[in-house]
Amino acid sequence: MNVDGQRVLGVFVADGHGKDGGSAADAAINACIAYAKTAKELNPAILKQLFTEAQTDVSRVTRQGGSTLTAAFVFPDRVLTAWVGNGEARMVSRDGTIRTLTVPHEYGAHPGEAKRIADAGVVTVPATFFFADAPPNQQYLANGNILLEVTRSLGDPEMGEHILHEPEIVTEPLNPNDRFLIVASDGLWQELRDSARMTLLERACKKPDATDRDVGAHIEHAFSFKKSADNLTAVVVGLKR
């Protein structure tokens, strides 16, 4: 896409959950694609409008469930990222160092969201009640027999007003050492809590001749053996610096 005379790459990852999660994720991605075809400029105000339109589209197809959405726009000199939910965007340097651009909207991972939910008196349930290896401070939001891992999303009408649909937005300057951008659903990053798997990914990224296809193939191969029931979506972007 061309924005203000610059070539910009848009990367969109949605991860549905609940009964209508598949339809919600499709609607979120379609809203992003429709926007990208006509975009003339990009800034935080416009990205908020994009997510508002995506929420409207998602609400038409969901009665129970919703979707996360991470939208990253790669400019020649920076990456502009907007997200709701626990998908993440991470930058990989030439030495294999991985830095996080986003903070998951989860109770326990995002201090601001945890405070907001606690102050509102929302009922939560410890994640360790369901998964022994979950972070000890992670909590699921509860409404009757419905549980939700994220505190922001698109859709999820059954969770009421405490689920925000407005994205958080960050701008990350690119530097000559930046080599890859990885945008992925939580299925990838949760598995990378295993330090051995993170080390293998870092090694794959720092190989001198590694390409985005190589890193993507490494992720696909490594996680084809994972035991988690969660699905996984990952997009790897090679940065020519």
Q: What is the pLDDT of residues 151-209, one digit of tens each?
A: 999 999 988 888 899 999 999 999 999 988 999 888 776 666 656 566 767 777 777 77
Alpha-carbon distances, residue 187 vs 12, 143, 164, 228, 232 (angstroms): 15, 24, 22, 8, 5
Q: In which band, very low, low, confident or very high, does the pLDDT at 127 lie, cut at 50, 70 and 90?
A: confident
Q: In which band, very low, low, confident or very high, does the pLDDT at 5 lie, cut at 50, 70 and 90?
A: confident
Residue 215's H or E segment, with its range, is: helix 212-223
Partnered with residue 177 across adjacent β-strands are none
Query: What CA–CA distance (Å, rounded) separates 21 from 53?
Result: 17
Evaluate if pTM is beyond 0.75.
Answer: yes
Closest CA to 116 of 105, 127, 102: 105
Is the predicted pLDDT of residue 224 greater than 70, yes or no? Answer: no
Report residue 17 CA to chain centroid gap: 13
* All domains of the chain in start order, with CATH: 2-103+165-238 (3.60.40.10)
Is the predicted pLDDT of residue 144 greater than 90, yes or no? Answer: no
